[in-house]
Amino acid sequence: MRFELSIDEIRASAESVEEAGAFDGQCVHGVATLKEAIDGDLSFLSLAKYVPDLEKTKASVVFVPEDCQLSPQQNQLFLKVKHPNLALARACESIAQSLWPRKPGGLHASSIVDSTAEVDETAYLGPFCVVGGGVKVGPNTQIHAGTVIDDGASIGADCWISSNVSILRDTKIGDRVRLHAGVVLGADGFGYEFNGQQHEKIPHLGWVELDSDVEIGANSSIDRGRLGATFVGQGTKIDNHVQVGHNVSIGKHCILCAQVGIAGSTTIEDFVVFGGRAGASGHLTIGQGSKLAGCAAAFSDLPQNSVSGGTPAIPLNAYQRITVVQRKLPELFKRVQRLESQLGQLSS
């Protein structure tokens, strides 16, 4: 995709900019990695391993770290910033708006809206949306094609809801929430009780509640509570293909990466980070500020500000030492066999 982004807009997106070199153009027309950039592109350097790419890049404007010692090439501008990745994200915000444009308020002719629903006149409903009884949709919210909103659900202001999202009964959504394609909020939790002959289904009578500024990635599911709410706190970001079980409580500004699974009734406190494919079993407390490495699994509570890895999860430095030892086990086994053989020969 080609576009036009002025140098002044790029400068305005960065804080405490120090410049090196000069670019004689007034605009850039693309964003690319250092390796793939061409003349007229904007790029960035965030990791030291890409410094060789910076030396060769054809990008015209590059966000670089404040301590970058390289000099730009001819007709190339380096903008030295504290966080190059963040500066690029802010520079691209206007481009993102063109990729996901806000539609003017109104209902598509093919949408079906119950007569008891309250949809703000500035909200947009796309083709084949279905809105149930008693639903409330706030100002400037965008709801795209094929989304279903069941009875009693409420959605705040300035939300962006992609296509084919299912927002099931009584779900409560705050302001500025972003839901990507295929998200399911409020399906029944996975709850059964064995009665001696078969698994009997446990009714789930609760709901899902998202605080403001939450973002949920494509095809993720958050189950309703058995009793009461499954809750996601303000500013929390959830990646694609994440499963959150019934009555889980997630705090503010947490990060759950792809394929994370959280079993029912676990409490995740504020500022927690789960790496990809990490998980937690049920009825645990994951302490504030703690981090769980990718593919790790917590089977007991984790203290605040802990960093854990492995299955079951243990302190990350201990897990790393164990991993190093595991790689040496075949050789250690051979050495033990040799020692046993030598001791057997000496004893005989």
| Degrees, nearest 5: CA angle 42-240-50 | 35
| pLDDT band, residue 215 (cuts 50/70/90) | very high
Looking at residue 237, its pLDDT comes to 98
**Which residue has tokens 């009825």?**
283
CA distances to 150, 217, 284, 294 from 260, rounded to whole Å, are 26, 12, 15, 9
Banded pLDDT at 221 (limits 50, 70, 90): very high
Fold of 5-99: 3.40.1390
pLDDT value at position 16? 67
pLDDT digits (tens, 9 = 90+) for 172-194: 999 999 999 999 999 999 999 99
- Token pair, residue 245, equals 């079980």
Predicted pLDDT of residue 211: 98
What mean pLDDT comes out for the span 289-306? Answer: 97
Q: What is the CATH number of domain 106-315?
A: 2.160.10.10
d(C-alpha 76, C-alpha 56), whole Å: 12
CB 66 within 8 A of CB 45: no
**162 CB-near residues (< 8 Å, 6+ apart):** 144, 147, 179, 180, 181, 182, 183, 218
Show contacts of 219-222: CB within 8 Å, 24+ apart.
219/181, 219/182, 219/183, 220/180, 220/183, 220/184, 220/244, 221/183, 221/184, 221/185, 221/187, 222/184, 222/185, 222/186, 222/248
Phi, then psi, of 130 in degrees rounded to 5: -125, 125
Please give the structure tokens belonging to residue 272. Answer: 């927690």
Each residue's pLDDT tens digit, 224-236: 999 999 999 999 9
The whole-number pLDDT of residue 8 equals 86
Q: What is the pLDDT of residue 26?
A: 87
Is residue 331 within 8 Å of 319, Cβ to Cβ?
A: no
The SS3 of residue 243 is strand
By mean pLDDT, which of 49-53, 172-176, 290-294, 302-306 is the weakest?
Answer: 49-53
- What is the arithmetic mean of pLDDT over 24-47? 92
Highest mean pLDDT among 48-52, 99-103, 228-232, 315-319: 228-232
Among 265, 247, 254, smallest CA distance to 301 is for 265
92-102: pLDDT as tens digits: 887 777 777 78
State residue 92's pLDDT score.
86
Write down the domain spans for the chain.
5-99, 106-315
133-142, 281-290, 324-333, range with the lowest pLDDT: 324-333
Its pTM stands at 0.86
Displacement of CA 241 from its chain's centroid (Å): 10
Q: Determine the average pLDDT of the residues in 323-336.
A: 90
**What CA–CA distance (Å, rounded) separates 158 from 264?**
30
Mean pLDDT of the chain: 94
Choice among 99-108, 143-152, 230-239, 279-288 with the minimum mean pLDDT: 99-108
Structure tokens at 168: 């099931």
Residue 298 structure tokens: 């917590």
CA-CA distances (angstroms) from residue 173 to 105, 138, 184, 261?
Answer: 19, 10, 13, 21
Known active-site residue 29: no
Nearest to 163 by CA among 147, 176, 149, 148: 147
Q: Which residues are CB-contacts of 214 (< 8 A; sequence separation ≥ 6)? A: 174, 177, 178, 232, 233, 234, 235, 236, 237, 238
Q: Give the distance from CA 324 to its chain's centroid.
A: 30
Average pLDDT over residues 6-32: 85
User: For residues 185 and 179, what is the distance between their CA atoms, to the nearest angstrom?
Assistant: 10
Say how far apart CA 23 and CA 256 lie, in whole Å.
40
- Amino acid 1: pLDDT: 58
Model confidence band, residue 2 (pLDDT cutoffs 50, 70, 90):
low
- At residue 15 the predicted structure's pLDDT band, cuts being 50, 70 and 90, is confident
Candidates 108, 246, 253, 283; catalytic one: 246
